[in-house]
Amino acid sequence: MSKEFKRPDGRKHNELRPMKAKVGVIPNADGSAMFSFGDTVAIAAVYGPRQLHPQHMQDPSKGILRCNYDLLSFSVYDRKKPGPSRRSNEISKVTEWALLPAVYLEAFPNTVVDVQIYILQADAGTRTAGINAASMALAHAGIPMKDLVCSVAVGKNDKNLIVDLTKEEEDYDLGEGATDFAIAKLANSDDITLMQMDGKAQPKVIPDLINLSVEACSTIYEIQKKALKSVIAEGE
Amino acid sequence: MSSMEVSNLTKNMLKRMFLEDKRFDSRGLLDFREIDVSYNVSNKAEGSARVKIGQTEVIVGVKLVIDSPYPDSLDKGNLMVSGDLLPLASPRFESGPPGFEAIELPRLIDRAIRGSGMIDLSKLVIKEGAKVWTVIIDIYPINDDGNLIDASCIGAVIALKNANLPEFDENFRINYEKKTDNKLPLSEETYPLSFSFFKLGDFIILDPTREEEEACDTRLTFGISLLNKEHLINSCQKKGEIPFTSKEIEKMMEIIPKKFDELNKRLKKFL
């Protein structure tokens, strides 16, 4: 990897965009949070555990987690038609799987925990920002959890490994082009709970990309913890 | 009967067998079943293929239409992958709006094909900024005995390879009855193959039967291509709530080049 590779916004290869995290942004919700990577802003609300209807969807052995992810219509330059799409359906489902290993829902049979994630402003990495927000919102809602889930996109521009790609970097088309690899993991273990990739990466590069994401996730984890603690300090 | 959930008894039996590198049908954990390919499922399609992996059977058709380009890619043709999990193919499938599996399957194939660069979309332009070819790949499983994604990817690649462009007139009206000898602008060197790793306990297997697939906890699918003698991962997606560890992924990265070459060799005669 060439040391001189310049990212469009001048970041180092392993440098995340400036992040913001805030817990308790939606008073109506049982838990809520905002998380942003640079210009990508996600908010998440958690409602539940609450009674699940229709009844046939209930699981008598545990509560279920139900995630919904979508872009707001004005979060992108070309207005996004409101309502679910194949893309948002897929992301909702993989988000659910990314979060599930972190939560204990055995104490809440027949209930549902609804996680609503919306993107206010999109500049790549929306699903990962959404997972970070949702993980904080679940903790804020007091759902029993064994860990927080941290998520980041890593990838490549040509042969250069980079972390937290912007839209411009996702669209990079020189050399080997762009690789975009969304990863989520439990903060304090080796468990990887989300993997979605597009691009061109040699098999031997994948472990390096994962290592890069592990490093980034530990930074994200600190920001999530800080935001959660500050809410407790305020006595909410 | 075949729609019943896999019992814990079966799961435990499979785990015991996996420990000895055995499976019900006597394959090794990473072995594929017999693969058979045939062409021209429908002479109304511009290209089509039928792929059988063991008892799993998938048919794939390519239709071509002339469309306007997308506003954000005026200099490129369009690629669309769709399909359906018809109730014909399995007692598990039901009619009605597509479920997650039916949405995910074509999206994974789309990403594998796009990522590999197998189709040169810029060569699908008929009239700059106004008229382009749209390539539509439709995937229909006919019998689901596991590993539909990998089978569908093979089907899509072969259907693309044997597609011929139809004739069209000065008003860009297509005469589908007249096929030309012209092929799609496909790369000579590369095409994608899909590899779906399934995990049961600590074991990783390839090409599961329906029963094995059902018994497994989770899945990780890769779209792989070979370009300039270098293996490339073009897409990847994890399914299910059980995590993978970075060790397991490292192991898969070692398996992938070998398995790609092996499958590539087996498919050579069909391409």
Residue A34 placed within a domain? yes
8 Å CB contact of A195 and B235: no
Banded pLDDT at B1 (limits 50, 70, 90): very low
Domains observed in chain B:
8-270 (3.30.230.70)
Q: Which among A197, A205, A212, A215 is the top mutation candidate for probing chain B, defined by the most B β-carbons within 10 Å of its own β-carbon?
A: A197
Nearest to A165 by CA among A96, A207, A216: A216
Do the Cβ atoms of B115 and A190 come within 8 Å? no
Can you give the residue range of the structural domain that contains A42?
Answer: 19-231
DSSP states of A103-164: B--TTSTTEEEEEEEEEEE-SS-HHHHHHHHHHHHHHHTT--BSS-EEEEEEEEETTEEEES
pLDDT attached to residue A5 = 83
CB contact at 8 A, B270 and A227: no
Tokens of A223: 């920001």
| Residue A60 pLDDT grade (very low, low, confident, very high; cuts 50, 70, 90) | very high
A86/B107 touch (CB, cutoff 8 Å), yes or no: yes
Instruction: Indicate if the pLDDT at residue A18 is higher than 70.
Output: yes
What is the least distance, in Å, from the CA of A38 to any CA of chain B?
24
Q: What is the pLDDT of residues B149-177, one digit of tens each?
A: 999 999 999 999 999 999 999 999 999 98
- Residues in chain B with CB shorter than 8 Å from the CB of A78 are 71-72
At residue A233, the pLDDT reads 76
Number of Cβ pairs < 8 A linking chain A and chain B: 95
Separation of CA B139 from chain center: 9
Shortest distance, CA B71 to any CA of chain A (angstroms): 10
Tell whether A108 is covered by a domain.
yes
Q: Residue A190 and residue B247: Cβ atoms within 8 Å?
A: yes
Contacts of A193 in chain B (CB under 8 A): 238, 241, 243
pLDDT of A145-175, one tens digit each?
999 999 999 999 999 999 999 999 999 999 9
Q: How far is B255 from chain A (nearest CA, A)?
A: 9
Looking up tokens 């700059």 gives B128
Average pLDDT (A33-44) is 96
Q: Does B246 reach chain A within 8 Å, measured CB to CB?
A: yes
pTM: 0.85
Asked if residue A103 belongs to a domain, the reply is yes
Instruction: Flag whether pLDDT at B4 surpasses 70.
Output: no
pLDDT per residue over A3-13, tens digit each? 568 999 999 99
Q: Distance from CA of residue B187 to its chain's centroid?
A: 18
Give domain status of residue A7, yes or no.
Answer: no
Contact B234 A214 (CB under 8 A): no
Q: Is B228 on the interface with A (CB under 8 A)?
A: no
Indicate yes or no: CB of B241 within 8 angstroms of CB of A90. Answer: no
Peptide bond into A54 cis (omega under 30): yes
pLDDT at B193: 97
pLDDT value at B42 more than 80: yes
Establish if B87 touches chain A: CB-CB under 8 angstroms. no
Task: Inform me whether the pLDDT recorded for A125 exceeds 80.
Answer: yes
Number of domains in chain A: 1
CB distance B257–A86 less than 8 Å? no
Question: Mean per-residue pLDDT for A46-61?
Answer: 92
CB B232 to CB A202 under 8 A?
Answer: yes
Q: What is the pLDDT of residues A185-229, one digit of tens each?
A: 999 999 999 999 999 999 999 999 999 999 999 999 999 999 999
Does residue A2 belong to any structural domain of this protein? no
Residue A9 lies in a domain: no
Scan for tokens 């204990």, then name that residue.
A104
With respect to residue A74, please indicate whether it lies within any of the assigned structural domains. Answer: yes
Is residue A146 situated within a structural domain?
A: yes
More confident residue, B262 or B40: B262
Question: Quick one: residue B42, left, alpha or beta (phi over 0 = left, psi -120 to 50 = alpha)?
Answer: beta
The CATH code of the domain that includes A127 is 3.30.230.70
C-alpha span between A212 and A232 (Å, rounded):
31
Residues of B in contact with A196 (CB under 8 A): 236-238
Q: Read off the pLDDT of residues B218-230 as tens digits, 9 standing for 90 and up.
A: 999 999 999 999 9
Residues B255 and B196 sit within 8 Å (Cβ to Cβ): no
DSSP A102: G
Q: Please indicate whether, in this complex, the C-beta atoms of B230 and A203 are within 8 angstroms of each other.
A: no
What pLDDT shows up at residue A27? 85
Give the pLDDT score at B251.
Answer: 96
